[in-house]
Structure 1
Amino acid sequence: MPIEGEGMADKREGQDRGVEWLREAKALGFSDRYLADLLGQSEREVRARRLQAGIKPTFKRVDTCAAEFEAYTPYLYSTYERECEANPTARRKIMILGGGPNRIGQGIEFDYCCVHGVWGLKEEGFETIMVNCNPETVSTDYDTSDRLYFEPLTLEDVLNIVEIERPEGVIVQFGGQTPLNLAVPLLKAGVNILGTSPDSIDRAEDRERFKALLQTLGLRQPANGTATSVEGALAVARQIGYPVIVRPSYVLGGRAMEVVYDEADLREYVERAVKASPEHPILIDKFLEDATEVDVDAIADGQTVVVGGIMEHIEEAGIHSGDSACSMPPYSLAPHILAEIAEQTKRLALELHVVGLLNIQFAVKNGDVYVLEVNPRASRTVPFVSKAIGIPLAKLAARVMGGRTLRELGLTQAREISHIALKEAVFPFIKFPGVDTILGPEMKSTGEVMGLDRTFGRAFAKSQLSVGPAGSLPTKGTVFISVKDKDKPAAVQLAQVLHQLGFRILATRGTANAICAADIPVEVVLKVIEGRPHVVDYIKNGDVQLLINTTMGKSSIRDSYDIRRTALIYNIPYCTTIPGAFAATQGIKALLEGPMDIKSLQEYHQHDRG
């Protein structure tokens, strides 16, 4: 039918398309946006014309009783028929926009926030309306919200629901970037956006406005620029200096981001990016090598700001925040750095007049704090932080957006915890033949686990056990080490610790020379390209229990691919960053100290409350 509709549209190209044509096109499923492109008009013009002609969708209830008896479940979908079954109530109501389909960068963490938001609003007496189109979520369970509209997260579909339900406001900050992108268009259409204003959201999202915001507050930001051409990108990179991190300006989950170390690679990247999307500028930032990244989640009501949690990434800057393991509270940052991060978070939240949730990503290098990104919305770490501290941040944020203050809700200061909460990412690499396990600025993880204990090492070890067989740290056996030149001093330190723990050390020639020079026992093993038996043979024969491999440049990544892939297939734990390897040694130490004890999350919280 849609193909017939396209043919029908093409045949009328250049002719006057009347009301019946428009009615037929909508009945066939064509969106206002598609028709606008076809007609050479704006989506707003097509919508106005459609409404003027009285062409509106109706909403039908999903028959959850298989026609055996009347279904009362308010589970609705739109169609262009005559009878509408929505029957909206006269209660005070608030609409929450979900995250839509799960994909890397936007997953179930946001659905957690939507569900907690529904629960919070119900406690305040509001009727809750959920808009989402993903059947694999809790937010689309029939008994979560009072009314569920199973519709796409587009401007047209949301406005259709707003018109029939007339909610007091719409919450866009729980579903990730997808609903957040609708904030300004909805506001322009007259919809009341609850929580942080669309203008404040735009100040954080728009490149130039964000730079001006940080300058106003006197906060540091890595040198950066934008470009729409190869020459423009090269000029920016020369000005700020290599290495740089580059990405399109419209990405989600770090998609298409790369760290570039020289002009040739930058030229290649920009040519690809411009060809793929010439209308979007390329963002170029100075890459802060060897910096420590920090994630902060906070809640605010416009007057009071409370930091929910400060998380220190274990992997260094350059690894996407969704892929990096992280520790809460931070395990290596000095108290005065943490105080500075908390202070900057509060200043940014107040300047942006945040009402609801806020996520900020910082980088710390040589004692200086840099602001990388500010997201005035729920982040993927909100469930982790909420469970770690025992406070349902998303639920409280919804109540704040419903009119409450944090003081009324009894939350005026950050909660201190005596345990370590360790978040580790879960990756789907094994399901995709040929995919490399090396991490970078583009997000690859599809889930996460949490390890809890009183020390960092024990919490890290538990998080690795939770990942599965490939994450379980060994307590004896052989460790293979092959690292880039820059990491060789660190590799010597790792080898020293592992040797003291009783491990046998294998290494490729260059790494082995550095380890041997420090009088640490090490055996040389051949690279794959050097002959046999090589390191892959050792892995396949079960002679390697832990693998540490870092790379630099495309040729190095290509040459060492078989090592990482074989480790994955044979369930051998591996580290592709030096900080990750040091964390693994702490986890191994903890395992050697004695068996792990098991406590519930509630027991940790009860201990903190005395």
Structure 2
Amino acid sequence: MASITETSVTKVIEHERPDGIFLSCGGQVALNCGVELYKSGFLQKYSCNVLGTPIKSIQITQDRSLFTQHMTYIEEKVVPYEVVNSLQEALKSAERFGYPVLVRYDVVSLDDRRSSYANNREELISLDNSALIDSSQLFIDKSVKGWKKIQYEVVRDHYDNFIVICNMENIDPLALRTGESIVVVPSQTLSNDEYSLLRSVSIKIVRHLSIIGACNVQFALNPLSSEYYIMRVNTQLSRSSALASKATGYPLAFITAELAIGMRLTNLNNSFTDETFAYCEPSLDYVVIKAPKLDLRKFLRYSNEIESSIESVDEVMSIGRSFEEAFQQALRMIHEDVIGFHPYSRTITDDELNIPTDERIFLLATALRQGYTVERLFELTKIDRWFLHKFQSIIQFIVHHFNSSIIQNKSLLLEAKRLGFSDQQISIYCGSTEVEVRASRQQFVIKPLIKQIATVSDESPTQINYFYLTYHGNQDDIQLSPNKETSILVLGSFFYEIGK
């Protein structure tokens, strides 16, 4: 096994003489390596074909100028930008767009890992003076701060058959990368018209670019209208693809590999179920939350602010029947000291809420406990009101119902569990112990139900060994046999954390 470099891949191809090379499963490094080998003529020299998405399509999605040309050709819009060669040009571009603006240090690709926001003239001067030392050109982008970030995961084969696996919505508005934002699957705040519109545009883009296999299309959506921009298209399997696959039970990597060698989507089975076809679109009756682990204080940094650059070191995923249930589960997994959507005991200010930090979600809990309204929080954070109302429902339950008597009230205790509260949280808020809370649940027969990830919802029953626990519902999806003589305990590793 060797690292993916032009040298190592060249040696393998020279020695093994493969008929083809598959670039979609190796991330950005594999794409870059494959494109360079193609541009140098090496792949053509050894008659090594690029499997799956054509190399020219990959090049289009990696080159911002080409990508813009193609989106314009199909009458779609990308985020307006200008290429500048000096500080004076950057200042003029910012004046035309209006502050804030996004400064990108890579003028070729659509990669947003090397970018920063300038909120005023002084910040732009500071950014450009340092950035122009390393690069002769910069992108100045119109800001879409505060817009929604929506993603669609689409699969297409050589014969123009396609399905949409799912869509995803960032809870945080644009300004933060997806890797630094909490993401919910499927989207929760889109209207039917918005959902259908962006779905249709995703399919149009994938068809135009002749994508084969999985593809991730990212949008910026204006929360005050149906205006949208296409941000980028990922032709490789990405972290978003992994989330889509885990969230839906759809084997994206496996299907993408089969489509790359010419298989028809209509002829493939879903290997997760062995009962449904890969051509069936998943239909979710549950909510999936992805949350980043942000260990910023373990790096040499002066600030815990997060914006457009990569900060997260890992991510967690939770599943529930309600947003609140999945949301609080996810928060508990990001760090061993986090008990859920728990407010701080101190008083906070508007400035703390206005700046994205690794503590922002808990600052929101504190603000709601402190008496901030949903409207005021929307003005400060631009987080959609739907999410803010869900956060508010959790805090209001804490304020109005948590006292020593809750564990004696079956309906309130069940409601608390359905809102995602753990036994530990309940014990802290009502002044009891976890043992007492658990005993009350057992007395009231309040227990989590085993639910099955059904990749096509209830439309076509499937047998799949993919389950989650929830306090919503009336019965388990599977029946455990009490007569079995042996039981199996599966132990898994805990979450990854830098320094431990």
Shift of the 263–477 alpha-carbon distance from structure 1 to 2, 3 Å rule, reads closer
Deviation at 1:405, TM superposition (A): 1.3
Quote how far apart the aligned CAs of 1:586 are: 4.5
Give secondary structure in 2 for the equivalent of 1:378.
coil
Report the counterpart of residue 384 of structure 1 in structure 2.
243
Tell me the distance in 2 between the aligned counterparts of 1:253 and 1:604: 35
How does 1:59-74 map onto structure 2 within 5 Å?
none
Displacement of 1:183: 2.3
TM-score norm. by structure 2 comes to 0.70
- Residues 589, 310 of structure 1: CA spacing in aligned structure 2 closer, same or farther, 3 A cutoff? farther
1:361 to 2:218 alignment: yes
Q: CA deviation at 1:428?
A: 2.0
Alignment deviations for residues 517-573 of structure 1 (CA, whole Å, 9 cap, x no partner): x9xxxxxxxxxxxxxxxxxxxxxxxxxxxxx9999xxxxxxxxxxxxxxxxxxxxxx
TM-score by length of 1: 0.58
Count of residues in Structure 1 that have an aligned counterpart in Structure 2 = 389
Distance 1:251 1:349 in 2: 19
Output the CA distance in 2 between the equivalents of 1:252 and 1:495. 32
- Structure 2 residue aligned with 1:180: 31
Listed as ranges, the gaps of 5+ residues in structure 2 are: 269-276, 356-361, 402-414, 421-446, 462-500
For the residues of structure 2 that align with 1:254 and 1:467, how far apart are their CA atoms?
Answer: 24
Change (3 A) 1:549 1:333: closer
1:70-109 mapped onto 2 (5 Å cutoff): none
Any idea what the Cα deviations from partners look like across 1:34-57, whole Å, max 9, x if unmatched?
xxxxxxxxxxxxxxxxxxxxxxxx
What is the SS of the residue equivalent to 2:236? coil
Q: Does 1:395 align with 2:254?
A: yes
1:481 maps to a residue whose letter is: I
Which of 134, 159, 176 lines up with 2:10 in the alignment?
159
**Which string of whole-angstrom CA distances, capped at 9 and with x for unpartnered residues, describes residues 310-360 of structure 1?**
101000110011111111111111111111111111000000000122111
- Residue 204 of structure 1 aligns with an amino acid whose one-letter code is T
Are 1:264 and 2:131 an aligned pair?
no
Structure 2 match to 1:472: 339
1:439–1:407 CA distance, 2 compared to 1 (3 A): same
Deviation sequence 1:566-597 (CA, Å, 0-9, x none)? xxxxxxxxxx8856866543554688732256
Q: Which runs of 5+ in 1 are unaligned?
A: 1-149, 489-493, 507-513, 519-547, 552-575
> Which has more radius of gyration?
1
Residue matched to 1:198: 55
Could you tell me whether the CA contact under 8 Å between 1:425 and 1:448 is conserved in 2? Answer: yes
How far off its partner does 1:479 sit?
6.0
1:336 aligns with 2:193: yes
Shift in Å, 1:240: 2.4
Counterpart residue type for residue 416 of structure 2: G
Per the alignment, residue 321 of structure 2 pairs with 454
Q: For residues 372-451 of structure 1, what are the structure 2 equivalents within 5 Å? A: 372-409=231-268, 410-432=277-299, 434-451=301-318
For 2:202 and 2:88, how far apart are their aligned partners in 1?
Answer: 36
1:164-313 superposed matches below 5 A: 164-187=15-38, 188-189=41-42, 190=44, 191-249=48-106, 254-278=112-136, 281-302=137-158, 303-313=160-170
Query: How big is the alpha-carbon RMSD for the aligned residues of Structure 1 and Structure 2?
Result: 3.3
Structure 1 position 393, deviation (Å):
0.7
CA distance in 1, matches of 2:321, 2:256: 29
Q: Distance in 2 between matches of 1:476 and 1:273?
A: 39
- 2:481 paired residue number: none
The letter for the 1-side match of 2:115 is M
2:231 and 2:319 mapped to 1: Cα distance? 28
Deviations 1:108-145, CA, capped at 9 Å, x for gaps: xxxxxxxxxxxxxxxxxxxxxxxxxxxxxxxxxxxxxx
Partner of residue 229, structure 2: 370
Residues 498, 585 of structure 1: 8 Å contact kept = no
Q: In the alignment, is the contact (CA less than 8 A) between 1:301 and 1:356 conserved in 2?
A: yes
The secondary structure found in structure 2 opposite 1:322 is helix
Return closer, same or farther for 1:291/1:165 CA change in 2, 3 Å cut-off: same
Cα deviation for residue 264 of structure 1 reads: 2.2
- Report the alpha carbon displacement of residue 171 of structure 1 after superposing the two structures with TM: 1.0
Confirm or deny: 8 A CA contact 2:331 2:341 kept in the other structure.
no
8 A Cα contact 1:306 1:414, kept in partner:
yes
> What residue number does 1:61 align with?
none
Aligned to 2:433: none
In the TM superposition, residue 237 of structure 1 has moved relative to its aligned partner by 2.1
CA distance 1:229–1:484, shift in 2 (3 Å): same
Pairwise CA distance, 1:460 = 0.8
Aligned twin of 1:481: 348
Q: Which has the higher relative contact order, 1 or 2, with Cα contacts under 8 A spaced 6 or more apart?
A: 2
CA contact (8 A) 1:314 1:583 kept: no
2:397 and 2:200 map into 1 onto residues whose CA distance is 34
What's the CA shift string for 1:450-496, capped at 9, x where partnerless? Answer: 121111111111111121244433567746331239969xxxxx999
Q: CA deviation at 1:220?
A: 2.3
Task: Specify the SS of the correspondent of 2:292.
Answer: strand
Paired with 2:10 and 2:100, the residues of 1 have a C-alpha distance of 44
CA distance in 2, matches of 1:377, 1:495: 36
1:76-119, Cα deviation, whole Å (9 max, x unpaired): xxxxxxxxxxxxxxxxxxxxxxxxxxxxxxxxxxxxxxxxxxxx
State the 1:202 CA deviation: 1.2
> 1:368-414: per-residue Cα shift (whole Å, max 9, x none)?
12111112111211121111111111110001002211111133342
- Distance in 1 between residues matched to 2:169 and 2:258, nearest whole Å: 29
Counterpart amino acid of residue 119 in structure 2: Y
Q: Contact conserved, 1:473 with 1:584, CA < 8 A, in 2?
A: no
Letter in 2 for 1:484: D
- Is 2:180–2:312's contact at 8 Å kept on the other side of the alignment? yes
Cα pair distance change 1:606/1:589, threshold 3 Å: farther
Partner Cα separation in structure 2 for residue 476 and residue 264 of structure 1: 35
**Matched residues in 2 for 1:550 and 1:356: separation?**
40
1:594 aligns with 2:445: no
The answer to whether the 8 Å contact 1:487/1:578 transfers is no
Residues in 1 aligned to 2:295 and 2:19: alpha-carbon distance in whole angstroms:
41
- Distance verdict in 2 for CA 1:577–1:479, change over 3 Å: farther
* 1:195 shift after superposition: 1.0
Percent identity between the two aligned chains:
23
- The Cα of 1:308 is off from its aligned counterpart by 1.4
Distance 1:291 1:358, change over 3 A: same
Question: Secondary structure of 1:162's match?
Answer: helix
1:414 and 1:234 mapped to 2: Cα distance?
A: 47
- The Cα of 1:242 is off from its aligned counterpart by 2.0
